[in-house]
Structure 1
């Protein structure tokens, strides 16, 4: 096809994906708004509440900017470049926020400050890596540039052109993936230990421990997909594949992360709690009393918990 036809084809894909992202994000917000009022605005705020609000509304902001950028709404080239940088840097900030949530959950599971300090210590280089990637890959005109495409006097849009192959993005994603693997391994380890203890007592695993570890695995799969898609964006993809990748990257993370937080709150609200620890008040009804006391307490409250 001719250059004009190719540009028009890309614009059609862009606008279709933009409408899809706006629809998905808006629909998700409407679905979760009642729960948000109940579990956020009508209760005392905590660390996890602040993290939820950050990923919820900052994520919506990034998603809407991403949906409107590139053709859905005409943005002059100079403004478009600044908007593009905001989207990329904002995505990195959002990824860091999701990791902070995972770190806080692990601290709540382990109830161990040394683990918290180790995870935060390892997290600092990850933040530095995100900054380096945003500076050297996404912010340099020699690596990526924004150009205005004019199809007709009334039909024009800005798009990004990648001038570097995928290898730098792949190399820089490896430490991030390794850190995500560490987080999910720690979560699975505490679950395995917990299930062994419960098996010895002939009891079912704690619902919240299983739920949180399951969500850690979902986070890991999602973050892995985002890292892979971010890397292959630098490859020479077809128009259709590129916009399908963008549809995932511009919607799924901003839906899953806040939803998983609020789902745990909802589960917690619908269960009868034996005891709530201060650290874990945001995400789970769980403490670590001696096994015999825990067994006796849960047996008296809910005999059905016995296997």
Structure 2
């Protein structure tokens, strides 16, 4: 059912929604622009290479991000007319994309860490167990929120607003889901940091390094930037969910917090996420092109598997 109103007391809703919507639209456009900028790298490092699991995951991550941005833009344009049914389908799709994409990134993280730990079966089984536990629980939480979702189109002074109400205790469920994702991200960062530090210590002790050290540096650098974006998104979401900010729910302050969250979550998932694969493939391509020492490696081609021969066991 569409609600039409010209009540002057609702002007604050228009101002708040415009502030938040324009930020979200800008972030979505940025995702599409980034995919255009990285298209030459993608063609060279992904499409022209031998296909593997990481190729499929990269393409899925990249083009799901484009779909997300394309849906997100019209939803947040105040002049875009729609219906309750269309709005419901769009919101439902966006919510499940946000569930599916962290799962894809989780598989990429497992592959990276499995390679960094020299294919340790114990580490692999531990990560898979935590990954499945977190993602199954997260999907159940999102399903609980969406079970009683209501979407209503509101037309205020000729502008279109999409009023979304989630069933159950929305704040508690959002916090639970965010904490699950945070546990996984912190665990992945700690595992990557620990094995990287261990390799650097051993290489210093044996006066070795070179290719192996550079590879771990590239892996850790891309992971650190990715985690930094997640941290900002996580903090802004909890700020948005706090009573001081979210009351009233459509205040300008709440919309700004939500806009900041959207910017960094889109950057983390759809800009820095694909770069977890592109960065190491670009490093390997430069190594092959510029150095004759690549024959000393077993394989550093992350297709995304990094098999490095070292004198130590991980």
TM-score range normalised by the length of the shorter chain: 0.7 to 0.9
User: Which residue in the other structure is 1:242 paired with?
Assistant: 258
Q: Quote the offset at 1:29 in angstroms.
A: 1.4
User: Which residue in the other structure is 2:70 paired with?
Assistant: 64
Unaligned residue ranges in structure 2 (runs of 5+)? 1-6, 247-252
CA gap 1:57/1:172 in 2 versus in 1, 3 angstroms: closer
| Kept in 2: contact 1:126–1:175 (CA 8 A) | yes
Partner deviation per Cα, 1:33-86 (whole Å, 9 max, x = no partner): 001110111111112111111111112211221222133532211211121111
Q: 1:254 aligns with which of 270, 273, 298?
A: 270
Q: Output aligned runs, 1:88-237, within 5 Å.
A: 88-110=95-117, 111-137=119-145, 139-141=146-148, 144-152=149-157, 154-161=158-165, 164=169, 166-204=171-209, 206-235=213-242, 236=246
Aligned partners of 1:123, 1:221: CA distance in 2, in Å?
Answer: 20
Q: CA-atom RMSD, angstroms? A: 2.6
| Kept in 2: contact 1:187–1:213 (CA 8 A) | yes
Partner deviation per Cα, 1:128-153 (whole Å, 9 max, x = no partner): 1121121112x033xx532221113x
Q: Quote the offset at 1:15 in angstroms.
A: 4.5
Aligned partners of 2:113, 2:83: CA distance in 1, in Å?
Answer: 45
CA gap 1:266/1:140 in 2 versus in 1, 3 angstroms: same
Q: Quote the offset at 1:227 in angstroms.
A: 4.0
SS at match of 1:55: helix
| Kept in 2: contact 1:66–1:250 (CA 8 A) | no
Query: Which segment is superposed worse, 205-214 or 156-165?
Result: 156-165
User: Which residue in the other structure is 2:3 paired with?
Assistant: none
Aligned partners of 2:114, 2:154: CA distance in 1, in Å?
Answer: 50
Q: Aligned residue pairs: how many?
A: 287
User: Which residue in the other structure is 2:4 paired with?
Assistant: none
2:100 paired with 1:79? no
2:271 paired with 1:265? no
TM-score (norm 2): 0.81
| Kept in 1: contact 2:152–2:162 (CA 8 A) | yes
Q: Quote the offset at 1:286 in angstroms.
A: 4.8
User: Which residue in the other structure is 1:288 paired with?
Assistant: 309
TM-score (norm 1): 0.83
